[in-house]
Amino acid sequence: MILTAFFALWAGRVLAADISVNAVVDQQHVSVGEGLMLQIQVDGNDSPGAPDLSALSDFKVESLGGQQNSSSSISFINGQISKVSHEGYVFNYRLTPRRAGQLTIPALKLRIAGRDYFTAPIDILAMPPRELRDFKLRLHLEKNTCYVGEPVRLTLTWYIGRDVKGFNFNLPFLRNDKLKVRADSAASTPVNKANIINLTLDGGLEVAARKGTGLLEGRSFTTLSFSLVLIPRQAGTIRLAQATVSAKTLAPQARSRSFSPFFNDDFFGRSLYQSVVVPGNSLELIVKPLPTAGRPADFNGLVGNYSLLVLAVPRKVRVGDPITLTIQVAGPYADYVHLPSLRAQLPARDFKVPVEMAAGEGQGPLKTFTQTVRVRHPGVTSIPPLSLTFFNPATGRYETAHSKPVPLQVSANRVVTAADAQGLGPVISAKQGIKEAGGGINYNYDTVDALVNEEKAAAGVPGRFVVGAVVGLPPLFYLLVLLIMALRCRWPAFNSRRAARNAYQMLRKELREIKPLDVKGYERLSKALTRYLRLKLNLKQALLTNADIREALYRRGVGDEEVKRMLEVLKKCEAGVYAGSAAPVKLENLLAMAGEAARKIDSGSRQAGGKRNEN
């Protein structure tokens, strides 16, 4: 027993000694904003834990996925069979320096087979970017002075004078704690969708960049521009850290070729392209504090000039009937508005208002909220004016927008009595002057003395069987209709579950049909992945954003690593659709990455579903 334990311990130490880790980079001299490739190589194990990258504070880190690097070979020597096996794994990352100077990629820790392993440190020299004649980056603030909480639009325009590939924006001010930065949803969308390029910036911020043309310093350029909204959190002077854009551009010796900006279908040759990093201009934003004098008690930080419109449907109701209020807020950045609680604005003695409020919908200058309320008594004649308080930077004062009252017609509900339940209704003691119409229909009595002898009244009725059939058939027919409706309601859900179960097998079949040299392979792969996610996650919308996919995967219980892996594959697919043969990842490798990502999600969602069933 002791000998066995000793042998197991010795074997574990031998195996651990065969594991090694190594970090390599493709270059050690880069410019700020220019990406370098970091590869962490593991020998002796094909399933290591992901490295700890928390110490890479001087770099923007992008995961490019990983893959096993295992192999085995069999040889015959003098009739003897010899088998040699090698296990390994490779992690791939893109690192972008955030500042100039001598930087260090520190020793990175990996957890493998219960032990910690460390890579060797690597020194990186990051040089400041410099502006070139053919490339300019300009940032423009719509105003340089604002108040705390006031949204300010920032427009970035990249002027391009040469053929480029594989560009990347580095915006350090996105991580400034003094600012909230959001995509500009108020920016107008051009009719030509082909001129839109979807970009993902630091922190997963998604923007729609627009291709066009422009003049700068007397020269015509191709342009790529997008807008962001900056919302300052505190007063003072905020200096925006220098923005850069890096790209691969046609080298001077190859510039005699035709110029077609953004995406050239030629093969990406090292001798034809060189890396450039273009710096942006410096900006400052002066932020003034909001005045304390005259600040209303219900002010919630909204800055701008806004108006309020309230509609109610229906306006003719009984006490307790639901009324749907539609509240529209209009202003420069209405999509950032949070509506004050209606329970605080509608009198509790007159209206019953739910505690939970529905989130508003819309973007740009208009946002719409819907809320259901109920009237408590017939004395209510209108929905009173609602109010929204804001600070108007144009006037320098706190103001309140009021809606107009909405008139209502409210009637009381008749109280149901015990006599109603017995079918007697209110007793009427007199005939109210109604007389018999000769030869016609007699007037009705609704008093107790109007009851007749049922035995005599039923003398001419057919047999009990016929009576039972007449009485019983309508309920049976009604139950049959309910059954049919229930089955119809459940049928789509059944189809959705079946489609979700078969989504992964369908994707595998589609991946096998895509050939590595297919000119439309990236596009077919992108469509196949989108179809898989829509079926797997039961998503109805035609267009899926990264936010939709991320939220749906998390709801299914898929782990964070698997979610990031799938989003990274989708990003590379999109890059491949535009870049063609110059795509950053070969189609053959991307097919393997897509299959592995889908397999992880499929197994992860099944395990999560099993745990929910157990619970």
**Band of the pLDDT at 265, cuts 50, 70, 90?**
very low
The bridge status of strand 316-318 relative to strand 351-352 is unpaired
Q: For residue 222, what pLDDT is reported?
A: 93
Going by C-beta distance under 8 Å and a sequence separation of 6 or more, which residues neighbour residue 601? 536, 553, 558, 562, 566
Does pTM surpass 0.85? no
Highest mean pLDDT among 274-288, 454-468, 488-502, 514-528: 274-288
**Band of the pLDDT at 431, cuts 50, 70, 90?**
very low
Residue 16 has pLDDT above 50, yes or no: no
The string of DSSP codes covering 193-204 is: GGGEEEEE-GGG
**Band of the pLDDT at 580, cuts 50, 70, 90?**
low
Q: For residue 204, what pLDDT is reported?
A: 82
The bridge status of strand 273-279 relative to strand 196-200 is unpaired
CA distance 615 to 610: 9
Residue 596 has pLDDT above 70, yes or no: yes
Closest CA to 539 of 529, 549, 547: 549
User: Mind listing the pLDDT tens digit for each residue in 328-364?
Assistant: 999 888 877 888 888 889 999 999 998 877 778 876 7
Lowest mean pLDDT among 88-92, 178-182, 222-226, 560-564: 560-564
Cβ–Cβ under 8 Å, residues 155 and 186: no
CA distance 553 to 545: 12
CA distance 48 to 52: 12
Q: Half-sphere exposure of residue 434, counting CA atoms within 13 Å on the CB side?
A: 11
**Band of the pLDDT at 610, cuts 50, 70, 90?**
low
Give, in order, the Cα–Cα distances in Å from 124 to each of 28, 33, 64, 385: 5, 13, 20, 63
More confident residue, 554 or 241: 241
Residue 314: cis peptide before it, omega within 30 degrees of 0: yes
Cβ–Cβ under 8 Å, residues 287 and 234: yes
Residue 377 has pLDDT above 80, yes or no: yes
The string of DSSP codes covering 174-191 is: GG-TTEEEEE-TTSPPPS
Neighbours of 34 (CB within 10 A): 23
Highest mean pLDDT among 351-365, 438-452, 461-475: 351-365
Q: For residue 147, what pLDDT is reported?
A: 96
Between CA 472 and CA 483, with CA 477 as vertex, the angle to 5 degrees is 130
Lowest mean pLDDT among 364-378, 407-421, 502-516, 590-604: 407-421
CA distance 101 to 392: 44
Give, in order, the Cα–Cα distances in Å from 358 to each of 325, 335, 370, 409: 11, 14, 6, 25
User: Mind listing the pLDDT tens digit for each residue in 32-61?
Assistant: 878 889 999 999 888 888 999 989 988 988
Q: For residue 166, what pLDDT is reported?
A: 81
Structural tokens at position 35: 């990406």
Give, in order, the Cα–Cα distances in Å from 112 to each of 26, 48, 54, 117, 271: 25, 5, 18, 7, 40
Host H or E run for residue 534: helix 521-537
CA distance 461 to 471: 13
Average pLDDT for residues 157-173, to the nearest whole number? 89
Lowest mean pLDDT among 62-71, 205-214, 321-330, 454-463: 454-463
Instruction: Catalogue the E-assigned strands of 69-178.
Output: 71-77, 80-86, 88-97, 101-105, 109-112, 115-118, 122-127, 135-141, 145-147, 152-160, 164-170
**Band of the pLDDT at 412, cuts 50, 70, 90?**
confident
Residue 439 has pLDDT above 90, yes or no: no
Residue 211 has pLDDT above 50, yes or no: yes
